[in-house]
Amino acid sequence: MLNYRHLHYFWVVTKEGGFARAAERLDMAVQTISAQVRELEKALGHQLLKPSGRGVALTEAGQAAFARAEEIFQIGQLIPDEVREAATAKVARLAIGLSDGISKLAAHALLEPVLRTPNLRLVCHEGEVEQLLGELALHHLDLVLAGQPPPRNPNLRLSSERLVDAPVAWFGPAQWVGKAERDRFPHSLNDVPVLLPTGHSVLRTSLEQWFQAQGLRPRIVGEFEDSALLAVFAARGLGVFPVSRLGSGDMGLLRGLRLLGHCDGVKEEIHAIRSRRGQHHPLVQQVLASATRAHP
């Protein structure tokens, strides 16, 4: 097993640029530090340092070792503060997985009821549904929000429920909403640039089916995985875009966006997926209970 004390001596020697300065910093004999670094090199099977003027320089193998050592000891320096924080205040940790395809505006709205929890530490991971479900099964996540229920897999022991089935509407900056003529909606979508979620989103499939049913061929000028980023670009004048009623609650953060029309028959679904352990997490229960009251 790697000797982390030897690794630390190597790290300090590299940071200080030589054994003498490292010995002064560590208040140790130069010979002791030199011997410990040689032990590290012997354990790894490669020379890590080479003479350079009055000091030392990293070999290529040493560069790789130093990069990892830098990560390790920078993280280590955080431990005292984190331990002190944990000992003096009860941290309410909530780890959420957000699948690539769901509206981040809607996800924020669903999580909003717990955001004022004292000493909250919220951790949000984004990724493919399969990856997030694996993290959930390993208890690295407390809850996954996705655009569809999980595939049947008895080995994962997950439960799922639909939290949201929200209607979708179109918004945009005044310059495009005015040009689109609301009385001609949805056919006026052919007259303005359109922003859409990427193919990762279940909503994208529903929108394309709706375009076809309405006989629309919109000019798509942008595709975004992140709905919040999509809204920002729309607010800056790039085009009009769809968002669910749940997500539109955050639209007040972006001035100048106006309602163009409602996308009849198109809805955004969000499913809450939990492991058995996650079913008893108080903040997960609060998120689900709030969503049920708001969207019965």
| Domain spanning 88-164+271-294, CATH architecture | 3-Layer(aba) Sandwich (3.40)
Q: Please state, rounded to an integer, the average pLDDT across all residues of the chain.
A: 88
**Pair 85, 59: CB distance under 8 Å:** no
pLDDT tens per residue across span 149-164: 888 776 667 888 898 8
Residue 233 has a pLDDT of 92
Residue 182 has a pLDDT of 66
Res. 119: pLDDT tops 80: yes
Same topology for domains 4-81 and 166-268, yes or no? no
Domain 4-81, CATH: 1.10.10.10
Residue 250 has a pLDDT of 65
DSSP letter, residue 133: H
Determine the average pLDDT of the residues in 262-287: 88
Give the total residue count for the chain: 296
Between CA 55 and CA 72 the distance in angstroms is: 24
Closest CA to 48 of 59, 38, 64, 57: 59
Res. 146: pLDDT tops 70: yes
Residue 122 has a pLDDT of 92
Q: Is pTM, for the whole model, over 0.75?
A: no
Residue 295 has a pLDDT of 67
Domain boundaries, the chain: 4-81, 88-164+271-294, 166-268
**Pair 239, 194: CB distance under 8 Å:** yes
| Domain spanning 166-268, CATH architecture | 3-Layer(aba) Sandwich (3.40)
Determine the average pLDDT of the residues in 85-111: 83
